[in-house]
Amino acid sequence: MLRVDNLVKNYGDFRLDISMEIPDGAVTGIVGKNGAGKTTAIKAVLGLIRPDGGHVTINGKEAVNLTGRDRELIGTALADSGFSSYLRVEDVICILRKMYPTFDEAFFRKNCDAQALPYGKKIRELSTGMRAKLRVLAALSHKADLLVMDEPTAGLDVQARNDILDLIRQYLLINEKCSVLLTSHISSDLEGLCDDVYLIHDGRILLHEDTDTLLGSYAVLKVSDETYEKLDKRFLLSSRKEQYGYVCFTNEKQYYAENYPGIVIENGSIDDLILMLTGGK
């Protein structure tokens, strides 16, 4: 579905240099700190920026050369951009009806009702959560084969986040072949949704892993200075000095559980991944 081959984009001192692949039906997350290059990657995928090198292809076609027909198959929700805030929800429906031959108005209205989105209000008068829901609903409303979402749940409360994630999950249940690429700062959102995760740091991919493997085999070890000295470090991805000793990150949880029964082992999460691989020593 989506291939990113040695994509290079330079902004002054910052250089994005990544490769990734999202097969049909896969839900892929991109994680990383602010300024890591997540949004630049998303923009390159959508053809909004021109790569300085490499290729981004969607169904074999360069992203910057996508036609209107190609774009009908892509649903997009961006964190900091959407329909003009002067438009009303009702206006958005009329525009989408004319934009997309496959626009499912019944689906859109049903979900607007369910999420209590007021048709007559201007977008600028809606709450942050409602605006985010509207952006996601617009992306899901035209039977897209590829969803590209940049921080769809950023800045929202738990209820609004869950509502949005449920919308995406329901869509994926009906459209099994749909591929999704999304970024999020909230690791639990990605853990519950993604098949695999790319960790981006300083414009490079530090890690690509299946979410199940990440949650099952990765772990945080908390050890004293003495234990750290004796610890087999072959399977440590990173370690950081703390007051009590060391905190280490491994992708071989089982190995340390079996060979070092006394140490504290906590199951890994995407947050640990980000913290330990981008901030640890």
Considering beta carbons, is residue 64 or 186 the nearer one to other proteins?
64
Would you state the structure tokens that stand for residue 55, as one six-digit string?
């290729």
Q: Least distance (Å) from other proteins to the CB of residue 165? A: 21
| Contact present, 174 and 208 (Cβ < 8 Å) | no
Would you state the structure tokens that stand for residue 9, as one six-digit string?
């984009």
| Contact present, 30 and 181 (Cβ < 8 Å) | yes
Q: Least distance (Å) from other proteins to the CB of residue 180? A: 15
Q: What is the dihedral of CA 82, 16, 146, 94, to 10 degrees?
A: 20
Q: Least distance (Å) from other proteins to the CB of residue 47? A: 8
Considering beta carbons, is residue 48 or 264 the nearer one to other proteins?
48
Q: What is the dihedral of CA 113, 117, 121, 124, to 10 degrees?
A: -160
Considering beta carbons, is residue 15 or 122 the nearer one to other proteins?
122
Dist CA 212 CA 62 (whole Å): 31
The residue behind tokens 């989408």 is 96
Q: Least distance (Å) from other proteins to the CB of residue 268? A: 34
Q: Least distance (Å) from other proteins to the CB of residue 26? A: 20
Query: For the sheet containing 264-267, what is the strand order?
Result: 236-241, 246-250, 219-223, 264-267
Considering beta carbons, is residue 119 or 244 the nearer one to other proteins?
119
Q: Least distance (Å) from other proteins to the CB of residue 137? A: 14
Q: Least distance (Å) from other proteins to the CB of residue 98? A: 4
List residues near other proteins by CB under 8 A.
43, 46-50, 66-69, 71-72, 74, 76, 78, 80-87, 91, 94-96, 98-100, 122, 135, 148
Considering beta carbons, is residue 182 or 270 the nearer one to other proteins?
182
Q: Least distance (Å) from other proteins to the CB of residue 29? A: 19
Considering beta carbons, is residue 51 or 245 the nearer one to other proteins?
51
Considering beta carbons, is residue 90 or 195 the nearer one to other proteins?
90
Considering beta carbons, is residue 82 or 280 the nearer one to other proteins?
82
